[in-house]
Amino acid sequence: MLRKLGYAGAVALVGAEADPPYERPPLSKAYLAGEEPFERMMMRPKEAWAELNIDLLSGRKIVSLDPAANEARCSDGERITYGKLIYAAGDCAAHANRYAGGAVIRLESVQNAHDQAAVAAASIAGAAKPYDAVPWFWSDQYDLKLQTAGLSNGHDKAVLRGDPDSRSFSVIYLKDGRVIALDCVNATHDYAQGRRLVATGGACDHETIADPGYPLFKPTARKG
């Protein structure tokens, strides 16, 4: 992300694991099922990091910082001098979230990690922006694709859309007549359209959205 934003300075990734960065979710799915080799879990081929001028410092971790000297000490004794440092102290999954009414919540999800990393990268690159992403989650459980958008905390109405016996349905959560979250089972169209509704705070009639044939989100046509 830093390179995409035009940042040309030195970048080092320090991690305790010996392997280069890899995708965690597939480990409990395709990899354990024997459908994909571990190499397919890699975020990038190892040589790609060098091509991006990013140093991978694997098999070690940061054990102390000296902010006055702009220096970090690794578990193997190596000292790294830095210009800008992004680090997490305490609960890095906790943050104030507008989709929770501004309350501090914990989002332990790939989405939260990815989107907060994008905000941190933008800050380093001099293009700071607030964190304002719709929370979403997903999981594949055998033949079921489970997808969630938004946060249902505080909802005052839950609408069932579709038939659970068909193994394809959604539960839509509203508050004050507006969609705040969805839980979708094998209903990817509901998830994609509903996520946009959550982002825009769209108002809906609960009887209308219960009909699976009714689109949850209708984009406004452009003129000209």
Contact 180, 157 (CB under 8 A): no
Burial 114-140 (b: 16+ CB within 10 A, else e): ebbebbbbbebbeeeeeeebbbbbbee
d(CA 97, CA 52): 33
- Tell me which H or E stretch contains 145: strand 144-150
- pLDDT band of residue 218 (cuts 50, 70, 90) is confident
Domains 1-87 and 136-209 fall in the same CATH topology: no
Q: Write down the pTM of the prediction.
A: 0.79
Q: What does the pLDDT read at residue 184?
A: 98
Does residue 128 have a pLDDT over 50? yes
Q: What tokens does 144 get?
A: 């079921």
d(CA 87, CA 198): 31
Q: What does the pLDDT read at residue 221?
A: 35
Q: What does the pLDDT read at residue 170?
A: 98
Query: If one looks up domain 136-209 in CATH, what number appears?
Result: 3.30.390.30
- pLDDT band of residue 198 (cuts 50, 70, 90) is very high
Torsion region of 184: left, alpha or beta (phi above 0 gives left; psi -120 to 50 gives alpha)? beta
Which parts of the chain fold into alpha helices (H)? 46-51, 110-124, 188-200, 206-209
Q: What is the pLDDT of residues 72-97, one digit of tens each?
A: 999 999 999 988 776 655 677 888 99
Does residue 222 have a pLDDT over 70? no
What separation in angstroms does the CA of 156 have from each of 175, 180, 195, 199?
5, 10, 19, 18
The architecture of the domain spanning 1-87 is 3-Layer(bba) Sandwich (3.50)
Q: What does the pLDDT read at residue 57?
A: 92
Q: What tokens does 143 get?
A: 């033949």
Q: Domain boundaries in the chain? A: 1-87, 91-133, 136-209
Contact 144, 185 (CB under 8 A): yes
Mean residue pLDDT across the chain: 89
Candidates 201, 203, 197; CA nearest to 219 is: 197
Q: What is the pLDDT of residues 152-161, one digit of tens each?
A: 999 999 999 9
